[in-house]
Chains A and B, each alone.
Chain A
């Protein structure tokens, strides 16, 4: 019965072929470790955001008068509205947590190296789209921090010489953040960027399954195949990774995720900031405006630029530094000159540089949450230099350092 049905379908649509290509006959290296959970978890979170987002949209009112009240309506009057909203707000933070870990995995094991350059670039595009998605979504609750954070970020475009002022007005659609801005951010948040994200994620997976997954040893499993053309170190993605590896990992993630949703949804003001319990008010600036935690490393770098240069003011250079910091990882495939891919076989310098990079990223993340001071700005400047140092010096230190020989086959450690 099933076979007859599937052969009917397969004559009209490549169902079995697609399933085999992407799942049951997609051979992934058998030595995946802890760090290989975060790709699939990111997909789970994306689906969660889409589903909870659809349900939130059913009760949300994108108007200046109605937005803030409609969020409280969702929290109080909609059946399980509070759960939908907390899943969505916690999901936004979780999305960035898992994507940062996913990217860190790529840095460690050289997942951006040939032949995965395009895969990495598509991933970078996803990251930038996510940042935009998060930014537009943050305005929608129409809380006072929503309002002023949007005000600060949009005003960054004002630092661009000549066209800055007009550009700012064009983005806002008004002379200040208003209902018009809210409406267009709503459209971008619920239609434009989700569409872009889903398409990019699809292309990301297509590219991945074309070149095959990297692994903690950074060796190409396609170099050693058996008589049937199956990689000796590969195992079918389904069921060995779907059920054998990912499913318990996803449940473990959900345990942590739900513990936060049910018991710490505001995360002490890091996931939902306190001033956002006050309605947006153009006349009342919060004492201290800080973006949500996932932007703070880049925000700290923005504020670290304090010198005017070449006749352009410091704010413009801050904007350049911030944009540069977001985009510079896209250059990695061409910056890394090491003969080996994985950190396991790279030299000490690479390991130290990666450690410094991660530590400075965390410190910048912290500095971005606190009000600026002389010490904090100086620390941010040092960390910004260290952050860029990891990338700028990479062609040099990956070439001169002594590496260990990478094995021909994957190791199971």
Chain B
């Protein structure tokens, strides 16, 4: 490449596309979707149908597509995951009347087909884990990620009773390290930090680890539903690119033959 080309490429880097992260009391936990994990997606579908679909539809997604992509046989799928007498080819709607639900909740529960794209999988994952008991709210719960959200906590049975708590955490020094007590070797200097969610012992059906997994499965499923063609897209892409690379080798060699005649 010519000098001007290099200069141009260097200029492309000039504006550093940086994004300021939203300051929030809640520390976002990472979410790594895995569409190869079929058991997770299947569990996610089961949990979604049981705990979410009463209010939230997936009105752009079909039952059949879900069953096929998640490798669930149609008869098992119909018997266990379709409760409304709909056909397998139907869209995953629910029977919640929009106008009435507005009166019940203050806002109609949104369709969740694309929520993992609209808000991001990480947001949904953290949101579902951020409910806590708040008697000031109409449904008795509030949310650390989405403050004053007009949605009840669907997981009270599974998770148990989540309460807001303050914890003693190690103080962080200016250099980023944890501060230690200079007098007692090894003892950390701590400070109180609030905004943690503790679950009251013995109130939930699942332990903390199982609950995390359940929420992960639901969000993994929603990530799948947001773009069901993603699996096929990423699989096909490799072949397309390999074909083009081979094609490039041949066209470049052919081009070179012609260029030999140019002086």
Residues of A within 8 A of B (CB): 30, 33-35, 69, 72-73, 75-77, 82-83, 86, 104, 108, 235, 239-240, 243-245, 247-248, 251-252, 254-255, 258-259, 261-263, 265-266, 274-275, 277-278, 343, 355, 358-359, 362-363, 365-366, 413
Contact = CB atoms under 8 A, between A and B. Distances in A.
Interface of B: 1-2, 4-5, 7-8, 11-12, 14-15, 17, 59-62, 65, 113-114, 117-120, 226-229, 232-234, 236-237, 240-241, 244-245, 247-248, 251-252, 254-255, 257-259, 261-262
18 contacts: A34-B2, A75-B227, A76-B61, A82-B232, A104-B8, A108-B4, A243-B251, A244-B255, A244-B258, A245-B255, A247-B255, A254-B244, A255-B241, A261-B237, A262-B237, A277-B118, A365-B15, A413-B2
A78 B17 CA distance: 36
A77 B17 CA distance: 36
Given A277-B226, A359-B11, 8 more contacts: A34-B2, A73-B60, A77-B65, A248-B248, A251-B248, A262-B240, A274-B120, A359-B14
Main secondary structure of the interface of A (DSSP, over half): helix
A86 B229 CA distance: 11
A234 B72 CA distance: 65
B39 to A, nearest CB: 23
A248 B252 contact: yes
A248 B251 contact: yes
Contacts of B4: 108, 343
Contacts of A259: 237, 241
A277 B247 CA distance: 36
Contacts of B248: 248, 251-252, 255
A255 B226 CA distance: 26
A127 to B, nearest CB: 19
A262 B241 contact: yes
Given A69-B60, A76-B65, A363-B15, A30 B262 contact: yes
A261 to B, nearest CB: 8
Contacts of B252: 248
Given A76-B60, A82-B229, A243-B254, A366 B17 contact: yes
A362 B11 contact: yes
